[in-house]
A = this chain, B = another copy of it.
Amino acid sequence: MTVALVTTSEARDKFKEYLVKKGLRVTNQRLAIFDAAFLQAEHFTAEQLLAHARAIDDSVSRATVYRTLPIMTESALLREVDIGQGEKFYRTSSINSTQVAQVVCLDCNRIFEISAPFMEWYGSTVSSKLGLTPVSQRLQVSAHCNAFRQTGSCPRKC
C-alpha cells in the first residue's frame, strides 16, 4: 500500500530506499532527476525534465532521464500521463492517483486532473466479466476552451 507523501524530502528518502531495495545504485544523476521532477508543479515532459535536471547537475544526459523515468514510475513516485500527443507527460504522485481523470484543453494543451473514484470500480467490474484482472485505467476528455473561442485567450492560461 502507498503511504501519503507530505514533503519532498520524504519522497526523496523513499526514492533512495526504492533504489537500494532493487539493488540499484544511488547516483548523483538519479537524484538530480528526482529533485528536478519534484520541483515541477504541473505535468512535464522528458525534455523539460532533462533541462531542469541539468540545471541541478549539468552532467545529466537525455539517456539517463529516459532510463530513470521508468524507475520513478515503478516506484510510484511519478505517474505517466499519455494523452496520445506524441510525447508523454509525467507528474509527481499524490494519493489516489489511480482515481484521476484528465481533461485536456485542445486550445492550450493544458491538462486538468479531476478526481474520478468510479473509474477504478468500473475497471474492476468490466475486467472481471472478461476474466481479467485490472492493472490500471485511464479516462481522458478532450475539450475546447469556451473563453478562448470567444475572446482568443483563456482566463486560466490558454
Contact = CB atoms under 8 A, between A and B. Distances in A.
Interface stretch (A34-42, A46-54, A62-70, A128-136): A128-136
Interface in A96-113: 101, 103, 105-106, 112
A146 interface: yes
B126 A146 contact: no
Contacts of A130: 103, 112, 143
Stoichiometry (number of copies): 2
A45 to B, nearest CB: 15
Interface string A119-158: 1001100110011111111111111111100000001000
A134 B143 contact: yes
Nearest to A114: B126
19 contacts: A101-B126, A103-B126, A103-B130, A119-B139, A122-B141, A123-B141, A123-B143, A126-B141, A131-B145, A132-B143, A132-B144, A132-B145, A133-B146, A135-B143, A136-B141, A137-B139, A137-B140, A138-B139, A139-B139
